[in-house]
Amino acid sequence: MFSTGDNPAARLRHELHTPLTSILAYTRLLRDDLAGAPAAEALSEGVACLDAIDRNAVRLQRYVDGVVLPLAATDPAGRPAAGAGDGPPRPGTTDLVAVLRDAVDLARRVAVAGAVSIHADAPATVLVAVDDLVCRHLVGQLVLWLATAAPSRAHIEIALRADPVPAIDAKIVAHGELTAPHPRPSDPQRPADLRVASAVANLCGGEVRLDETSFRLTLPASVLATASRLAP
């Protein structure tokens, strides 16, 4: 063990990384034991499950380092706090269309309980300068929030555009003559509960605007996307 002293970021890193490190170490020990055992279908399924646990633990470590700790190292105004270290993670290049497609697929499985339909309109490709894992968490959280906030038998329209900046606009539209829709059985998140999503978007150089029935997410375009638009 090591001492984290009075540094809040170091304490947070220690608290979050310690269980993930233990999970990874124990998972890999179990996987090595199963890999050396006689071949059997049950054992191969066990190895596949352990591989999935390993992948998800690694993804959580990346998310802790790339999102949680940088957010913890900023003040309420979004400026780096004292001892913040290297600041936000270096952005990657992510296809926002693929991210939105996966988020909508998940939201549709959740929305079916309330007979909520979701339609998304997007171009072939929209590249953004945001890490893939961070982008998936951010877009997924917003789309899933809207799907759970929608009243029964409502419809959600989502539009993704590349110009002038990559942006996702989503809103709840009531079907037909539904003027006073009944609330969904679950208690959905309110926009005030999405402060983390707004903070993550700001950290990535984007912005989230939302109200009770809609959201707009803008993200910075990647250098590749900008160059392709400027090319003759």
Per-residue model confidence (pLDDT) at position 134? 85
How sure is the predictor about 51, in pLDDT bands with cuts at 50, 70 and 90? Answer: confident
Three-state SS for 38? coil
Question: How would residue 15 be classed by pLDDT, with cut points 50, 70 and 90?
Answer: confident
Give 230 or 74, the one with higher predicted confidence: 74
The pLDDT of residue 218 is: 96
Q: What is the pLDDT of the chain when averaged over all its residues?
A: 75
Split at pLDDT 50, 70, 90, the class of 196 is confident
> For position 89, what pLDDT does the model report?
47
**The pLDDT of residue 204:** 85
Q: Where residue 155 falls among pLDDT bands split at 50, 70, 90?
A: very high
**pLDDT for position 10:** 66
| Exposure class string for 214-228: b at 16+ Cβ within 10 A, else e | bbbbbbbbbeebeee
pTM (2 d.p.): 0.63
Rounded mean pLDDT, 32-60: 71
What is the DSSP secondary structure assignment for residue 175, as one 8-state letter? Answer: -
| Nearest by Cα to 224 from 139, 166, 159, 161 | 166
Q: What is the mean pLDDT of residues 135-139?
A: 90
Least confident of 55-64, 71-80, 135-144, 210-219: 71-80
pLDDT value, residue 71: 65
* Residue that wins the pLDDT comparison between 229 and 165: 165
Identify the three-state secondary structure at position 141.
helix
Mean pLDDT confidence for 136-156: 90
Q: 68-72, 81-85, 93-97, 200-204: which has the highest mean pLDDT?
A: 93-97
142 has a pLDDT exceeding 60: yes
Contacts 24+ apart (CB under 8 A), 180-187: 181/151, 181/152, 181/153, 181/154, 182/151, 182/152, 183/151, 184/113, 184/114, 184/148, 184/149, 184/150, 184/151, 184/152, 185/113, 185/114, 186/148
